[in-house]
Amino acid sequence: MPTAAPEEAHGFEIFQHYERLQWKVSELGLENVRRDLVDPAYISLVKGVVMGEATSLPGLHGFLSEFDDDYDCSAFVAVWAYQELQHHYAFRA
C-alpha cells in the first residue's frame, strides 16, 4: 500500500501531464487503411511489435509490487501501463 498521501505526492501532476497526451485507438482511422497497399514486411514488423507491447501487463505487476510504497511511482506506472496496453491494441488492430 502506498505510504504517501495523494495530496503530498506529485502523482496528480504526472497524471495531468499524461492526461493531456491521451489519444484513442478509435481515433486512428484504421478503417481507412488500404490493406492492398501495405507492404507484407510491415505486417511481420507489426506482429513483432504487438508481442513486445503485450509485455506491459507483466511489467505493471512487477512495478506495482516493487514500488508498492511509492505513490508517485505507482501512479505513473498505472498511466504508463494504460498507454502501453493502448499501443498493444492499436498495433493489433
Taking the complex as a whole, the smallest distance from the CB of residue 87 to Fe ion amounts, in Å, to 4
**Residues 41 to 60 in contact with Fe ion, rule: CB under 5 A:** 53
Nearer to Fe ion, 71 or 76 (CB): 76
* Dist CA 93 CA 20 (whole Å): 23
For position 84 contacting Fe ion by CB under 5 A, the verdict is yes
70 near Fe ion, rule: CB under 5 A: no
**Dihedral sign, CA of 13, 18, 21, 24?**
negative
SS (H, E, C) 7-54: HHCCHHHHHHHHHCCCCCHHHCCHHHCCHHHCCHHHHHHHHHHHHHHC
Nearest residue to the partner Fe ion, using Cβ: 87
Footprint of Fe ion on 2-41 (CB under 5 A):
none
Q: Does residue 87 touch Fe ion according to CB under 5 A?
A: yes
Residues that bind Fe ion (CB under 5 A): 53, 84, 87
